[in-house]
Amino acid sequence: MAQMTMIQAITDAMRTELKNDENVLVFGEDVGKNGGVFRATEGLQAEFGEDRVFDTPLAESGIGGLAIGLATQGFRPVPEIQFFGFVYEVIDSISGQMARMRYRSGGRWTMPITVRAPFGGGVHTPELHADSLEGLMAQQPGLKVIIPSTPYEAKGLLISAIRDNDPVIFLEHMKLYRSFREEVPEEEYTIEIGKADVKREGKDVTLVSYGAMVHSCLKAAEELEKDGISAEVIDLRTVSPIDIETILESVKKTNRAVVVQEAQKQAGIAANVVTEIQERAILHLEAPVLRVTAPDTVYAFSDAEEVWLPSHKDIVEKVNTVLNF
């Protein structure tokens, strides 16, 4: 075991798979010699060579097309999109192409591609770096969308993503890259895609969340505990598909739920979680399922992040509304 930040765990996962499978290729803007703008691919080109880990011209759509073409030649591409706000340039390659390839070719061609990209607020990035756009990806049949919240999960989920024979979008929250360390096994391990994790057990209310908001939920849960309120915190880990079973099991126990996301209310995937709960467990609910989200504006100018991003205080407030319904 070693103490690792999330970014180290991510590098470690890529190193593990580059070693395990000669078909794994890592590429993107500045991922080679430079080791990535966040150092996520640090040392990988030196260890595995320019043939396996390489830079590309500055064009996201081309990177997506490159991944698709390489996949037809039996490679297992792990392309990086420097910031997920730049995904608009490559939405056709992701949603219009790789997500559909197995289906459109009746299984003749498959796309074992893992698209990695940082996103997320709280670190005062310039425009279109921090936007939460997982909701766009979650609406595309043919994709799976993963958002880890801890170093341990980042490594296990990334190894699973790379080994998956269908396209996976792996979104890495920038605020979590180096915010804390945790014990991460040095050997390889996997975490099943599509499975949520109960981060904290509770009996009064279920908090369903993902990404950086998982930590806000845990902080809120601690505050709530001071008032004698016991919150259960579920980390979705995969936002498409959603692990309905784990959510239902919890809601049936607590009878109350709040869904928490960093994305705007009209975006993200919270509405989907609410719908699933009301379709499958309405008779177990003592109160409506409410959401904590960002407001429906364009992502905040960096100086306004603090007032704009949802915080643990917003979560505490919403839990109280649900409890006093």
Active-site residue numbers? 129
- Phi/psi of residue 168, each to 5°? -125, 135
Q: Which token pair is 185?
A: 């096994």
Q: Which is nearer to other proteins, 2 or 58 (CB)?
A: 58
- CA separation for the pair 305, 310 (Å, rounded): 9
If you count them, how many residues does the chain have? 325
Binding residue for other proteins, selected from 11, 16, 45, 97, defined by CB under 8 A: 97
Binding residue for other proteins, selected from 1, 108, 187, 228, defined by CB under 8 A: 108
Q: Is 62 in the site for other proteins (CB under 8 A)?
A: yes
Q: Which is nearer to other proteins, 194 or 288 (CB)?
A: 194
Contact present, 247 and 208 (Cβ < 8 Å): yes
Q: Which is nearer to other proteins, 7 or 68 (CB)?
A: 68
Query: DSSP per residue over 27-73, as a string?
Result: EETT-STT--TTSTTTTHHHHH-TTTEEE--S-HHHHHHHHHHHHHT
Binding residue for other proteins, selected from 38, 75, 86, 119, defined by CB under 8 A: 75
Instruction: Please choose, out of 172-180, 201-209, 238-246, 288-296, the segment that lies near other proteins by the rule CB under 8 A.
Output: 238-246
Q: Is 210 in the site for other proteins (CB under 8 A)?
A: no
- CA separation for the pair 124, 239 (Å, rounded): 25
Q: If 0-12 CB within 10 Å is exposed, 13-18 middle and 19+ buried, where does residue 121 land?
A: buried
- Least Å from the CB of residue 70 to other proteins: 5
Q: Is 33 in the site for other proteins (CB under 8 A)?
A: no
- Here's the x/- map for other proteins, 34-53, by CB under 8 A: it reads as -----------------x--
Instruction: Please choose, out of 105-113, 200-208, 247-255, 287-295, the segment that lies near other proteins by the rule CB under 8 A.
Output: 105-113
- Least Å from the CB of residue 133 to other proteins: 20
Binding residue for other proteins, selected from 76, 116, 144, 155, defined by CB under 8 A: 144
- CA separation for the pair 178, 103 (Å, rounded): 39
Q: Identify which of 321, 322, 325, 320 has the alpha carbon closest to the alpha carbon of residue 228.
A: 320
Q: Is 105 in the site for other proteins (CB under 8 A)?
A: yes
Strand-pair category, 197-200 with 182-184: unpaired
Residues in 183-202 that interact with other proteins by CB under 8 A: 194
- Phi/psi of residue 21, each to 5°? -140, 115
Residues that bind other proteins (CB under 8 A): 51, 56-57, 59, 61-62, 64-75, 92-93, 96-97, 102-110, 141-142, 144, 164-166, 194, 240-245
